[in-house]
Structure 1
Amino acid sequence: MVKHKKPIKQGYISKFLKKADEVIGMSIKNADKAFQEGIKKADEALDVGIDLGIISTKQARKEAQRYRKVAQIQVKQLQKQAEKEANRLKNESRKKIKEKIATVKIKTSSRKETLLVLEKLGLLRKTGVITEKEFQKKKKELLKGI
């Protein structure tokens, strides 16, 4: 009989790393975009002001600096959001990994216990305390649980 391998499922660590990369990438793109928009607005304000003669170059420079500061604040906020999301994903993944490890440990110990019970049942059968039919019935029940 040929056994077919099951497709390998992506583990929690791989999923976490992939999600963290996506979040960080998006945050960097958003931060860069916000910064570029701030610079663009500052340049536009400077150009319009000078063209119209409404504001002096000093005023235009102040306006441009104000836009840059706003853009820098937005970048910092986006970086903080990305860091919080990455930490949340890390903690969530750690929790799930610990749960899976605990489940595997429980299953392993119950298998060992089942094998010990089967050995004891085998001894009872050999000594004649239980019949072959009783042994087979109990064996079938125990092996279903593994």
Structure 2
Amino acid sequence: MAVKKAGYIEKFLKKADKALQEGVKRADEALEDAVEFGTMTAKQAAQASKELRSQAKKERAELKKRGVKKITEGITAAKNVTSSTEEDLATLEKLGKLRKSGVITEKEFQAKKKKILGKI
């Protein structure tokens, strides 16, 4: 019976060795798939990152452009207000001179003055 037991153990060890070899082979295949998937994911991540950076640059440029436009509009509006105010004050001076010289009446002067000061 010792011979039968020895043969049985040998068969068992061969089956175990074969199963281990298949397990190692499957593990290697899974590892290769994981590496390939990881590489693909890394490439996809790099592409997505590149696209996002490009989009961010475009949006930054657009925001900068709009910001500069708004600032320019603000400066223009401020200049116009200043110019208008200066022009209105000059007009008031001229109206004052016209009133003093009798070209317009006090009532006309006050009406124009009220209108001009209402804009300021």
Task: Give the TM-score taking structure 2 as reference length.
Answer: 0.70
Instruction: List runs of 5+ in structure 1 lacking aligned partners.
Output: 1-49
Aligned length: 97
User: RMSD across aligned C-alpha pairs, in angstroms?
Assistant: 2.2
Instruction: Spell out, residue by residue over 1:102-133, the C-alpha distance to the aligned partner (whole angstroms, 9 max, x if none).
Output: 11111111111111111111111112222211
For the pair 1:118 / 2:101, whether they are aligned, the reply is no
1:62 Cα shift?
A: 2.7
Mark the structure with the bigger radius of gyration: 2
Quickly say closer, same or farther: Cα 1:134–1:90, change in 2 above 3 A: same
In structure 2, the residue matched to 1:76 is 50
- Cα distance between partner residues in 2 of 1:72 and 1:51: 31
Give 1:77 deviation, angstroms: 1.0
TM-score (norm 1): 0.59
Question: In structure 2, which of residues 58, 62, 72 is the aligned counterpart of residue 98 of structure 1?
Answer: 72
Pairs within 5 Å for 1:4-83:
53=27, 55=29, 57-83=31-57
Identity %: 45
Local SS of the residue matching 1:53: helix
- Structure 2: which 5+ residue stretches go unaligned? 1-23
| CA deviation string 1:45-66 (max 9, x = no partner) | xxxxx89537164444233212
Change (3 A) 1:57 1:118: same
